[in-house]
Chains A and B, each alone.
Chain A
């Protein structure tokens, strides 16, 4: 597989763009014409060739630019990456999982050579060739979790499992949908989900926690989640709200197709063998509405989903002020024809 990496930005001039291939492989999250919460888990064991589900940690045309954007965010705010003292072993778990997966899934991009605890890691797209001692932090420029997640797309929450709960005790979070690792660090599963409307009353968190606590070493799981973002911005954090919040008011009927993005998270869940922790990668994919509607099924369906979404969910997802304009725009791509089941383009 050869990937041509885009030269693009996720801030300032927002030159982010999707190729025709990237549009076709976009993880459209709606398998029907309406949306409500569900514990929509499935095994993360590959998927359609070419899809974002195929590799364990998907690498796409945005890889290099996303890693540059992460470095900018970290240089402005180092607290986006934190690891409590008991989480170092879990950090090595994360490094091992990602390095072995990427070297197997993308042998032309990544190489891992292991001689006992002496490891050599080659990352061609980022021009890295490092040799280090596994489980010896002093041989890496950063802690193990920070080192590997500076080279891996998506945010990462590393959860400690104890007292029958999960605890957000480490993470790398620079492409988040308006939540803060610095605020959530040390919280348990119910505490960090407290702001989500409806779901607690629906019993969703109890069921989801039970499922997550039982995830086994050889059975990772995944689900899709979604929200909306104005402009292709990865760093939509509470910390930088003054920079991106006002951009929600910059939409007009004329620029909406270009500036309004559907933001989809491919979330996966992995048991970490050495620490018995749980890794929760949250990989963000962005697509402008004008690109999205080039797939007719997605244009029809997305119009119906956004139009019929309950008010509190539209508020939580942060686009209530713009919903009428978005629905107007999308209605032009919905001729009322029935849509086929499933998420894939026809």
Chain B
């Protein structure tokens, strides 16, 4: 983690605000690749929050990192903290850039489909595609015009309530062989796009999506950490990973959103049912592993190898 200064906070739309971070000494920050995200640490009273946000600034520009945060009033509080309490001048801790949504540079063409705030990872990729002279098509879908966070001359804008919804089958069917598809938006939109692409015969390796899950709340449950000889109760609004950390049990993590695989944990015994919510584990692993960043448990006791 590096400590950076929040130097600018600019509203982009009624719900989306851009934040710029720079090194306190003006030192350059590590460059990154388009589609990368950073983990932002927020000290919200007694609670240490960690949320992942896509980097939206030019990846080759080390003068600062920019993210865009959509306010989620029903969320766990990270976006509210950023909108209400984060102020220019504050020092905040950010992780190194990590890319789980990189461009496949062997693609003949890149089809980028963004829904709402899902435009953010593409904002880092566009300058890269422009520099490479790569062929790309960007579809930016919003419900209403006031959701538009950035004016992108190269994008085709689809506004549902103005009747210009994207013709998904038309767009997917018109791409040359060798096109790679990238989609970022709501879970529903991602599922719809991937389902249609699969039905139309797109190869699985040409389909890319990114959705960071926020750990959803649930019923409290007990987990026994065999290696640490501790039994914990995971609270209703707490993730298992957060409960482990609060108990001083070390668990590796990277995205904290069920995508990167870093916190994968072996299940030693399970008297109940695991509620898997990640995008990482294969079906055949789900009876013996759990991703404590997002997944939960219903039953008597879960025993894990931590």
The residues of A with any CB-CB pair to B shorter than 8 Å are 86-87, 89, 135, 160-163, 210, 214, 216-218, 273-276
Contact = CB atoms under 8 A, between A and B. Distances in A.
Contacts of B262: 214
B102 A217 contact: no
Contact of B96 (A89, A160, A217, A276): A217
A218 B96 contact: yes
B106 A162 contact: yes
| 4 A-B pairs closest in CB distance | A86-B105, A276-B33, A276-B102, A276-B99
Contact of B30 (A135, A210, A217, A276): A217
Contacts of B205: 163
B260 A273 contact: no
Contact of A274 (B35, B60, B98, B254): B60
A209 B105 CA distance: 20
A276 B104 CA distance: 10
A214 B254 contact: yes
Contact of B105 (A135, A160, A210): A160
Interface centre among A217, A273, A275, A276 (most CB of B within 10 A): A276
B32 A273 contact: yes
B261 A217 contact: no
B97 A273 contact: yes
B31 interface: yes
B59 interface: yes
Contacts of B98: 216-217
Contact of B106 (A86, A135, A216, A276): A86
A87 B106 CA distance: 9
A161 B30 CA distance: 19
The DSSP consensus for interface residues of chain A is loop
B132 interface: yes
B259 to A, nearest CB: 12
Nearest to A219: B96
B254 A273 contact: no
Interface of B: 30-33, 35-36, 59-60, 96-99, 102, 104-106, 131-132, 205, 254, 260-262
Contacts of A214: 254, 260-262
Contacts of A160: 105-106
Contacts of B99: 276
B109 to A, nearest CB: 13
A190 to B, nearest CB: 15
A89 B132 contact: yes
A160 B106 CA distance: 10
A270 to B, nearest CB: 12
A89 B36 CA distance: 16
A89 B99 CA distance: 16
B96 A216 contact: yes
23 contacts: A87-B105, A89-B132, A135-B131, A162-B102, A162-B106, A163-B104, A210-B261, A214-B260, A214-B261, A214-B262, A216-B96, A217-B30, A217-B32, A217-B97, A218-B30, A273-B32, A273-B33, A273-B97, A274-B31, A274-B60, A275-B33, A276-B33, A276-B99
Contacts of A275: 33, 105
A89 B105 contact: yes
Contacts of A273: 30-33, 97
B216 to A, nearest CB: 25
B96 A162 contact: no
Contacts of A217: 30, 32, 96-98
A135 B132 CA distance: 11
Contacts of A216: 96, 98, 254
Contacts of A86: 105-106
Contacts of B260: 214
A214 B96 CA distance: 12
Nearest to A163: B205
A21 B221 CA distance: 60
A276 B36 contact: yes
A273 B106 CA distance: 18
A191 to B, nearest CB: 15
Interface centre among B35, B59, B99, B205 (most CB of A within 10 A): B99
A135 B139 CA distance: 29
Contacts of B131: 135
Nearest to A134: B60
A47 to B, nearest CB: 22
A160 B36 CA distance: 16
Contacts of B96: 216-218
A89 B106 CA distance: 12
Contacts of A162: 102, 104, 106
A274 B105 contact: no
A94 to B, nearest CB: 14
Contacts of A163: 104, 205
Contacts of B59: 274
Given A214-B260, A218-B30, A276-B99, 13 more contacts: A89-B132, A162-B104, A163-B205, A217-B32, A217-B96, A217-B97, A218-B96, A273-B30, A273-B97, A274-B32, A274-B33, A276-B36, A276-B102
Nearest to B35: A276
A276 B30 CA distance: 13
A292 B110 CA distance: 55
Contacts of B33: 273-276
Contacts of A87: 105
A214 B254 CA distance: 9
Nearest to B264: A210
A61 to B, nearest CB: 33
Contacts of B32: 217, 273-274
A160 B105 CA distance: 9
Contacts of A161: 102
B257 to A, nearest CB: 15
A87 B105 CA distance: 8
B22 to A, nearest CB: 18
